């Protein structure tokens, strides 16, 4: 990668600074003491002066300056000049969401990069590469393409499906084609929908995400980062604006945000370290034991699948069970709970072995409550208010997890987290997280395919067929 390119400079600053904070400069009128251009400029300069050594980037919002007329536009130019004076190394991302073609796009590019002197600009992909290419003609400059935004109605178009993928996923792949060297373009991915962010990350594994929506819009920082961070711990700009403008001490608030981002990233790194190094061993254990099979299988739904999972077979393969339980123990040891609660029946053997190895209490929800004796729906010894960590073999839609959680909750237990061996990526994570549960998986089904191909369990063409099936294609 060209060391002077926009993306390489962004990465270099991220590594040197140890920060993923993008400071949004959005001078909303209600946040200003003086509601004119001078008031907007002074308010933004105050934020810049107190946070420039903490900010990975600044993102002034063009709309709030344009609304103030010609004086506002000059204030925007003066703000960027001020940032250059205070710290020339901080990238400036102009939040303008431009999207047009031909001479109009060229004029927008000149305004952003020549007159205002921004380093990057937010762009709309709706008109295709014609609306993006004029901005790629400026060496060292870049853009963030709108992909999966954080507004409530974003899915109206971005969520439409075509050839097994959402429009947002296809935009992410298009951005990778448009910027094959990864030197100029990132993508905008909202923090309010971690499930979509995870799919976008799968579609664009190396891209930088501009991540709005944390805080005022309701995005959860840790969930958003877990879905968005690259394996190297980079690739995300967490935007914050109103929190800084409202704070009596913007620097203290920025430090707090940086600490929160760093803590969440460290937690995620620890969780990922559980299974990533052992993915090959896990895939081999599941394949050797016949828990993962390939061919033509008719599912309960009537659909024909090229892959079939049956983790009940683990009970007949001590070697494979050992690998799975060891990896589960590494994951579970990082979580806080009072009791392990495997869901009958597939998870019962691994849950019992896991509880024995870890020296932890085991309880479990019955499939049917007894109609005699204690008539209990949950077996084991516990007290009201205890936390149960649910364990299962697979997560598909999440239906069985809701049923089990309901029984545990009705018995007075608290359920916050669920651990599975394989997330089949059938919507369980989204459903569970929307209901307030956090799903942890040793692996996803799609992540198993590369090591299985590498060991010769499937051919490249089989992998393509299975991936198409998983996408619904």
337 and 316 assigned to the same domain = yes
Asked whether residue 299 is domain-assigned, the answer is: yes
* Active centre residues (catalytic): 97
Domain annotation covers residue 138 = yes
Answer whether residue 168 is part of any domain.
yes
Last residue of a domain, one of 214, 238, 272: 272
Rounded to whole angstroms, the Cα distance separating 8 from 331 reads 34
Q: Are residues 307 and 265 in the same domain?
A: no
Which CATH number covers residue 392?
3.40.50.2020
- Does 227 lie in the same domain as 347? no
Query: What is the model's pLDDT at position 320?
Result: 93
One domain for residues 237 and 287: no
pLDDT of residue 371: 62
Q: Other C-beta atoms within 10 Å of 319: how many?
A: 10
Same domain, 203 and 83: yes
**Other CB atoms within 10 Å distance of the CB of residue 16:** 10
CA gyration radius for the chain?
25
Assess if residue 303 is contained within a domain: yes
Please check whether residue 197 lies inside any domain of the structure.
yes
Secondary structure (H, E, C), 253-291: HHHHHHHHHHHHHHHHHHHHHHHCCCHHHHHHHHHHCCC
pLDDT at 275: 44
Q: Among 257, 272, 287, identify where a domain stops.
A: 272
**Residues 30 and 89 occupy one common structural domain:** yes
Instruction: Tell whether 267 and 281 lie within a shared domain.
Output: no
Does residue 57 share a domain with residue 73?
yes
pTM here is 0.63
CA 449 to chain CA centroid, Å, is 21
d(Cα 105, Cα 101) in Å, to the nearest integer? Answer: 5
User: Residue 439's domain spans which residues?
Assistant: 276-470
pLDDT average per 10 residues of sequence, the chain (473 residues): 87 94 94 89 96 97 96 97 96 97 96 98 96 96 95 90 84 92 94 84 88 80 88 91 93 95 85 61 93 85 84 94 90 85 94 91 84 75 91 90 93 92 87 86 88 90 86 66
In a domain, 1, yes or no: no
Could you count the other beta carbons within 10 Å of the beta carbon of residue 359? 6
243 and 126 part of one domain: yes
Q: What is the pLDDT of residue 124?
A: 97
How many domains would you assign to the chain?
2
Decide if 119 contacts 92 (C-beta within 8 A).
yes
**Residue 236 and residue 363 share a domain:** no
CA angle at residue 472 from 471 to 473, to 5 degrees?
A: 90
Of 238, 272, 306, which marks where a domain is finished?
272
Given this model, what pLDDT does residue 116 score?
97
291 & 185 share domain = no
**260-296 burial by CB neighbour count: b if 16+ within 10 A, else e?**
bbeebbeebeebeebbeebbebbbbbbbebebbebee
Output the pLDDT for position 405: 93
Contact criterion met (CB below 8 Å) for 187 and 210: yes
> In terms of domains, do 268 and 289 share one?
no
Q: What is the pLDDT of residue 404?
A: 92
| Domain CATH number, residue 214 | 3.20.20.70
**pLDDT at 277 (0 to 100):** 45
């Amino acid at each position: 990668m060209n060391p002077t390119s926009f993306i390489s400079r962004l990465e270099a600053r991220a590594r040197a600074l140890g920060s993923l904070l993008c400071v949004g400069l959005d001078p909303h009128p209600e946040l200003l003491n003086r509601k004119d251009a001078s008031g907007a400029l002074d308010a933004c300069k105050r934020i810049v002066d107190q946070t420039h050594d903490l900010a990975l980037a600044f993102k002034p919002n063009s709309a709030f300056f344009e609304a103030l007329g010609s004086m506002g536009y000059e204030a925007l130019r003066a703000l960027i000049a001020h940032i250059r004076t205070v710290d020339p190394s901080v990238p400036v991302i102009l939040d303008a969401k431009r999207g047009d073609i031909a001479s109009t796009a060229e004029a927008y590019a000149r305004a952003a990069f020549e007159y205002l002197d921004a380093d990057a600009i937010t762009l709309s992909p709706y008109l295709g590469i014609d609306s993006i290419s004029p901005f790629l003609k400026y060496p060292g400059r870049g853009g963030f393409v709108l992909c999966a935004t954080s507004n409530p109605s974003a899915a109206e178009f971005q969520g439409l499906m075509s050839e097994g993928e959402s429009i947002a996923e296809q935009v992410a792949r298009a951005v990778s084609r448009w910027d094959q060297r990864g030197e100029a373009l990132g993508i905008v991915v909202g923090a309010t929908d971690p499930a979509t962010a995870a799919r976008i990350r799968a579609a664009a594994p190396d891209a930088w995400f501009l991540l709005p929506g944390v805080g005022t819009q309701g995005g959860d920082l840790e969930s958003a980062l877990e879905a968005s961070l690259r394996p190297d711990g980079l690739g995300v700009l967490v935007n914050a604006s109103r929190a800084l403008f409202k704070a009596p001490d913007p620097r203290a608030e920025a430090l707090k945000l940086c600490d929160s981002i760093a803590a969440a990233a460290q937690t995620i790194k620890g969780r990922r370290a559980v299974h990533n190094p052992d993915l090959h061993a896990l895939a081999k254990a599941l394949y050797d034991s016949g828990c993962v099979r390939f061919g033509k299988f008719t599912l309960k739904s009537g659909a024909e699948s090229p892959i079939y999972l049956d983790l009940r077979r683990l009970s007949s393969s001590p070697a494979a069970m050992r690998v799975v339980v060891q990896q589960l123990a590494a994951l579970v040891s990082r979580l806080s709970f009072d009791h392990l609660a495997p869901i009958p029946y597939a998870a019962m053997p691994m849950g019992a072995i896991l509880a024995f190895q870890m020296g932890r209490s085991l309880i479990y929800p019955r499939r049917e409550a007894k109609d005699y004796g204690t008539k209990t729906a949950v077996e084991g010894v516990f007290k009201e208010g205890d936390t149960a960590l649910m364990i299962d073999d697979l997560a598909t839609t999440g239906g069985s997890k809701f049923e089990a959680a309901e029984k545990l909750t009705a018995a007075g237990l608290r359920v916050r987290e669920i651990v599975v061996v394989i997330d089949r990526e059938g919507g369980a994570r989204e459903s569970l997280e929307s209901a307030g549960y956090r799903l942890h998986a040793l692996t996803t089904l799609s992540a198993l395919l590369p090591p299985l191909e590498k060991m010769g369990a499937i051919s490249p063409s089989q992998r393509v067929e299975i991936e198409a099936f998983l996408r619904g294609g």
